[in-house]
């Protein structure tokens, strides 16, 4: 056992995923001394097991579908995807699960990487168990930021532990395509992995407890995605709950999924995509008066509300505001400015509606893309959410296939667009697009929602012809009628 080493820093960041990296960069730019604690790979879930590898798996699927959707191009396609080539490309985007480049970047911004498992040891104190068996005690002069992200939830069902089910990490880092894949859950992870593995050659069965896919989005989004998955050969079952799981004794044997209606699904692997929990259960939160395993509620500067003296921040998934990498990085930019300003002794921060020190986009304009076939891109409120907030709204829909640019993009283009207009404020509060290639339309919608651009002014943002962005013209024309 090596002796305890004690070091002091201006700020301690727990977690070196994208959120922790961005926060460390902002703090370094401000001249603060930063220690970043990480017990896995620098770069975190997004770089190695989520965003990058999952989208690397999905891009060949979309590219092949786009070619097959255009007459004259589809004739050049012979055969399906090469799974080994897809996996090899995925490995490259996951940096072959090596973090040398990310470590170099942290070093370039002046942050000190501390490898090991970090836990609170009282206010402003973090004890790190190092890989060498020693302990480093870190103290923070100004702040500690929890950027530890979230983890997949696997329900405590009979037989689930012995069945060794997949979680999202297993699906995105797999070395082979299972002949039969059962997916429990109908959210983003379930939909994207169903899209990828069905195209790679698996026979996919989706088991969804609710009455539709993508329940947090407009209902038509889940309906169109479910229709496409079924057309591709997937078995998508709604209103179906799993009651237990059984894996055959032989290593690598089939797994049987028991259902609430008495039926069974036999597969080679089962993926549980059933939600996420905060990675705060083993952080020593009890030493600072907080509950282990809890989400950390924060104010609009990402400062944890439960502690009166204001030294603790939670940025990214841990605060549950928006479990998306880009939102976590946005929060990190805000929190970095806040911590630096407070370290300099700032009494007042820019906290107005357009201030630099508040995370307004966490509630008003959260963008998200589901890289399914068709894609789903949405920002802001759904029509139902706007209604629950008591807003007086008008909902305008338009069929994407009627847009010239969409019909050029794919023969028989199917998709739908919706905008939700707050009639009292005169601007958009939500936009959803469904269809091939719609992810590139999302930033324009995000600008319209975040900027609260008056609908009358949007008429003067002329879309180029013939592009899919002309959907804006037709949505606004429909609104006028």
Residue 420 placed within a domain? yes
Residue 33 forms part of a structural domain: yes
Please tell me whether residues 400 and 441 are part of one structural domain: yes
User: Using an 8 Å Cβ cutoff, are 438 and 400 in contact?
Assistant: yes
- Say what the pTM is: 0.95
Which pLDDT tens digit goes with each residue over 441-462? 999 999 999 999 999 999 999 9
User: Using CA atoms, how far apart are residues 218 and 239, in angstroms rounded to an integer?
Assistant: 18
Q: 278 by DSSP, 3-state: which? A: strand
Mean predicted confidence (pLDDT) in 246-274: 92
Q: Cis (ω within 30 of 0) for the bond into 13?
A: no
Give the confidence band of 481 by pLDDT, cuts at 50, 70, 90. confident
CATH number for the domain that contains residue 414: 3.30.390.30
The H-assigned helical ranges of 69-210 are 83-93, 100-108, 160-163, 168-173, 188-200
pLDDT at 345 (0 to 100): 84
Asked, for residue 88, whether it belongs to a domain, the answer is no
pLDDT, tens digit, 9 for 90 and up, residues 54-95: 999 999 999 999 999 999 999 999 999 999 999 999 999 999
390-395 average pLDDT score: 98
Characterize the bridge pairing of strands 4-14 and 34-38: parallel
The pLDDT value given to residue 348: 65
* Contact call for residues 21 and 102 (beta carbons, < 8 A): yes
Whether 145 and 11 share a structural domain = yes
pLDDT for 250: 61
Instruction: Mark whether 399 and 476 lie in a shared domain.
Output: yes
Quick check: 269 pLDDT over 60? yes
**Residue % of the chain over a pLDDT of 70:** 96
- pLDDT tens for each residue of 107-153: 999 999 999 999 999 999 999 999 999 999 999 999 999 999 999 99
What's the first-to-final CA gap in the chain, in angstroms?
76
Q: Identify the domain boundary among 224, 250, 274.
A: 274
Asked if 204 and 264 sit in the same domain, the reply is: yes
* Across 451-479, average pLDDT: 97
Residue 351 has pLDDT above 80, yes or no: no
- Indicate the pLDDT class of residue 340, thresholds 50, 70 and 90: very high
The answer to whether the CB of 405 falls within 8 A of the CB of 470 is yes
Q: Is 67 helix (H, G, I), strand (E, B) or coil?
A: helix
Same domain, yes or no: 246 and 349: no
Rounded average pLDDT over 235-248 = 96
Q: Are residues 120 and 212 in the same domain?
A: no
Residue 362: per-residue pLDDT: 86
Residue 355 has pLDDT above 80, yes or no: no
Residue 43, in any domain of the structure: yes
Each residue's pLDDT tens digit, 32-61: 999 999 999 999 999 999 999 999 999 999
Residue 350 has pLDDT above 80, yes or no: no
One domain for residues 339 and 383: no
Average pLDDT of span 367-374: 98
pLDDT at 379: 98
> Is residue 430 scored above 90 in pLDDT?
yes
Query: In the chain, how many domains are there?
Result: 3
**110 in a domain, yes or no?**
yes
Q: What are phi and psi of 48, to 5 degrees?
A: -120, -25
Q: Can you tell me the mean pLDDT for 320-325?
A: 95
- For residue 76, tell me if it sits in a domain: no
Same domain, 43 and 139: yes
238 and 154 in contact (C-beta within 8 Å)? no
SS3 195: helix
Query: Is the per-residue pLDDT at 356 higher than 80?
Result: no
In a domain, 314, yes or no: yes
What CATH number should be reported for the domain holding residue 181? 3.50.50.60
pLDDT value of position 456: 95
- Claim to verify: residue 197 and residue 337 sit in the same structural domain: no
**30 pLDDT above the threshold of 80:** yes
Confidence of residue 360 (pLDDT cuts 50, 70, 90): confident
Residue 166 per-residue DSSP state: B
Look at residue 225 in the predicted model and tell me its pLDDT.
98
The two tokens of residue 163 are 């069945």
pLDDT the model gives residue 364: 86
State residue 185's pLDDT score: 98
Domain extent for 216: 160-274
As a whole number of Å, the CA-based R_g of the chain is 24
Cα 23 to Cα 337: distance, rounded to the nearest angstrom: 9
pLDDT per residue as tens digits for the range 398-417: 999 999 999 999 999 999 99
Q: How many distinct helices (H) and strands (E) make up the chain?
A: 16, 21
Average pLDDT over residues 370-389: 98
Residue 251 lies in a domain: yes
- For position 347, what pLDDT does the model report? 59
Q: How confident is the model at residue 352 (pLDDT cuts 50, 70, 90)?
A: low
């Amino acid at each position: 056992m090596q002796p305890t080493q004690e070091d002091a820093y201006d700020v301690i960041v727990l977690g070196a995923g994208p959120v922790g990296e961005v926060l460390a960069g902002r703090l370094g730019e401000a001249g603060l001394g930063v220690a970043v604690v990480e017990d896995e790979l620098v770069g975190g879930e997004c770089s190695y097991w989520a965003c990058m590898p999952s989208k690397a798996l999905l891009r060949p699927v979309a590219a092949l579908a786009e070619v097959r959707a255009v007459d004259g191009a589809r004739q050049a396609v012979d055969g399906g995807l090469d799974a080994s080539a897809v996996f090899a490309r995925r490995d490259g985007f996951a940096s072959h699960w090596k973090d040398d480049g990310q470590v170099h970047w942290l070093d370039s911004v002046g942050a000190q990487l501390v490898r090991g498992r970090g836990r609170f040891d009282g206010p402003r104190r973090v004890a790190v168990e190092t890989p060498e068996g020693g302990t480093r005690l870190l103290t923070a002069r100004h702040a500690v930021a929890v950027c530890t992200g979230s983890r997949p939830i696997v329900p405590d069902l009979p037989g689930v532990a012995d069945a060794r089910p997949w979680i999202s990490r297993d699906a995105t880092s797999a070395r082979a395509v299972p002949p039969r894949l059962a997916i429990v859950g109908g959210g983003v992870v379930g939909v994207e992995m169903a899209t990828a593995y069905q195209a790679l050659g698996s026979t996919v069965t989706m088991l969804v407890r609710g009455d539709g896919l993508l329940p947090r989005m407009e209902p038509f989004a889940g309906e169109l995605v479910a229709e496409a998955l079924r057309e591709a050969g997937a078995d998508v079952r709604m209103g179906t709950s799993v009651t237990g799981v059984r894996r055959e004794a032989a290593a690598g044997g089939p797994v049987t999924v028991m259902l609430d209606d008495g039926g069974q699904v036999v597969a080679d692997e089962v993926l549980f995509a059933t939600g996420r929990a905060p990675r705060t259960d083993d952080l020593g939160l009890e030493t600072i008066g907080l509950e282990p395993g809890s989400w950390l509620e924060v104010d609009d500067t990402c400062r944890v509300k439960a502690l009166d003296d204001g030294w603790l921040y939670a940025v990214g998934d841990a605060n549950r505001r928006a479990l998306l990498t880009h939102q976590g990085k946005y929060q990190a930019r805000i929190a970095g400015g806040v911590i630096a300003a407070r370290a300099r002794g700032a009494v007042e921060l820019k906290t107005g509606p357009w201030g630099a020190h508040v995370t307004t986009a966490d509630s008003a304009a959260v963008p998200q893309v589901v890289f399914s076939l068709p894609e789903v891109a949405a920002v802001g409120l759904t029509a139902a959410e706007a209604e629950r907030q008591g807003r007086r709204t008008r909902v305008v829909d338009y069929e994407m296939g009627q847009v010239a640019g969409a019909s050029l993009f794919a023969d028989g283009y199917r998709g739908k667009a919706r905008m939700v207009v707050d009639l009292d404020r005169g601007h958009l509060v939500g936009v959803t697009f469904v269809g091939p290639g719609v992810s590139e339309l999302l930033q324009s919608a995000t600008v319209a929602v975040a900027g609260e651009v008056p609908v009358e002014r949007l008429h003067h943002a002329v879309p180029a012809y013939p592009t899919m962005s002309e959907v804006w013209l037709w949505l606004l024309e429909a609104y006028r009628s």
